[in-house]
Structures are given as C-alpha cells and as structure tokens.
Amino acid sequence: MRITFFGTSHGVPEANRKCSSSLIEAGGKKYLIDAGTNPIDDLVTMGLRPEAVAAVFITHLHGDHTDGLVHFADLLSWYYKEASPVFYVPKPGVPDALRPWLSLNGVALRDDLEFRVIREGVFYDDGVLRVTAFRTGHIDVSYAFLLEAEGKKALFTGDMKHETGPLDDYARFAESHVFDFAAAECAHFDAMLYEAPLREHPPKLFCFNHYSPRYEESCRHLARELDGTVPVIFATDGRMVDL
Ligand SMILES: [Zn+2]
C-alpha cells in the first residue's frame, strides 16, 4: 500500500500545506481520503488521471475535508466524463448541495455519479481494499477509517474529539488492531495525550497529519519521548509512505 499526502494542513492552509486529502494506492487501484484541497490538481501533477480513482472516502463534512469535492464534481461532470469514482460521504444530501452551485456555473452535475452514505463498521470491500469506519467524537457524524490492503492496516483518524481525541477516540480504535501505520490529527488537543495509548498499543509507524502549528511543539516533544518505542514521522504535502 502506498500513501501520498496531497494536503496535510489543519483547518486552514499553511505555507506549502494544503487542507486534507490523501491518495491511497493498492493492488493497482487508487482511492482518495478527503478532498479539502483539489485532488485532481495533484493527480494530474503526478501524471495520473481522475479515471483511475475507484472511490473517494470523506471523513466528515467540514470544508477543510470537502471543499475540493466541488472542484472534483465539476470537472467530472463536464470534462472527465469517463471518471466514475463512488463517493462515500458521512451524510445524505451531498449531491443536492453540489447541484445548485454547479448549475450557477453552467454545469449539470452528472446523474450517474454515485454518492453512498457511510455506515459504521466495514462499508467498503472491493477485494483489494477493505475500509472500516469508526465513529469519532469530533462532530455529530465524523469518522476515522481503517484501511486494509495487501496485508497491511492503516488508520486515518480524520478529526477527533476536541480536547481529548487521543484518549476518547484513538485509544478505542487501537484496542482491537495493530496498525502498520496511523495517520493521526493534532489540531484539537495537545499531542502528549497520544503518549499513553501509543505506549499501550504501539503502531509500527505513527504519522502526524493535519497538525496545527499551535500543537507542533507538543508533537515534536512526543516524538522525542517515544524515540526507540514508536517511530514518529510528520506528513508533508507530497510525501509518500510505502507500507
Ligand atoms: Zn473537522
């Protein structure tokens, strides 16, 4: 499994850090997690075409994870008409929200684009990639995703509960799985809250993604504290991780 981070910033962009979006490649197939930036820009820059994307998984409906959906649906509706990823979204109503805006731009949202509502538990399995959704306490409906492919398990936390996400959300997911990779947010709490769950259930590789400058020093502090126990890396836009 290969992960390429398209956007790694927190709620707002930082210099050279766009909002959330990641490309997952496994078994010759491609998938996206979140579209807080315009993923087609990054796909094209990598020499890939939107037709290659099998599915788009959205963790929750906040703009820093979804604003790129407008761009994506726009281009698929009038230009990349052969591209038909299935969009997995946390709530119904997404196509109804996209349609009037695209219409104002003179574009009819393609009727054949499929939007499916995510349910907790295993909600996707195409024989290559299996995706499990865990509820998080971030907002009324928000998810972390466990991706399983090629014998590897990768967690994307999405956004978690304000103030206590690592203890209330991350610790719960880690209880039942050993992650080969965990891409974890740090925009809503001090990173040191990860220390206990990471020591108890260490992933093979822990990656700060969607971290705020406000908590960056605590992220670096945690990395130093866990040195020799859990390898900690920092996602940057364009960074690739092979599992
Ligand atoms: Zn959010």
- How far, in Å, CA of 12 to CA of 232, rounded? 23
- How far, in Å, CA of 145 to CA of 135, rounded? 9
- Residue 155 has what pLDDT? 98
**pLDDT tens digits, one per residue of 111-155:** 999 999 999 999 999 999 999 999 999 999 999 999 999 999 999
Say how many Å lie between the CA of residue 159 and the centre of ligand 1.
5
Say how many Å lie between the CA of residue 167 and the centre of ligand 1.
18
- Work out the angle between the directed axes of helices 94-104 and 63-78 (0-180°, nearest 10): 60
CATH hierarchy code of domain 2-242: 3.60.15.10
How many Å is the maximal CA-CA distance in the chain? Answer: 56
Say how many Å lie between the CA of residue 146 and the centre of ligand 1.
18
User: What six digits make up the tokens of 5?
Assistant: 């981070």
Q: Which residues of the chain have pLDDT under 70?
A: none
Say how many Å lie between the CA of residue 172 and the centre of ligand 1.
19
Say how many Å lie between the CA of residue 208 and the centre of ligand 1.
16
Q: Which residues contact 53 (CB under 8 A, 6 or more apart)?
A: 30, 31, 32, 39, 43, 83, 85
- Asked whether the CA dihedral 192, 194, 200, 203 is positive or negative, the reply is negative
- Residue 163 has what pLDDT? 97
- Residue 184 has what pLDDT? 98
**pLDDT tens digits, one per residue of 34-59:** 999 999 999 999 999 999 999 999 99
- Residue 113 has what pLDDT? 98
So where are the chain's domains?
Answer: 2-242
Say how many Å lie between the CA of residue 214 and the centre of ligand 1.
16
- Residue 136 has what pLDDT? 98
Say how many Å lie between the CA of residue 79 and the centre of ligand 1.
30
Say how many Å lie between the CA of residue 60 and the centre of ligand 1.
7
- Residue 37 has what pLDDT? 96
Say how many Å lie between the CA of residue 78 and the centre of ligand 1.
30
- Residue 92 has what pLDDT? 98
pTM of the model as a whole: 0.97
- Residue 237 has what pLDDT? 98
Say how many Å lie between the CA of residue 105 and the centre of ligand 1.
27
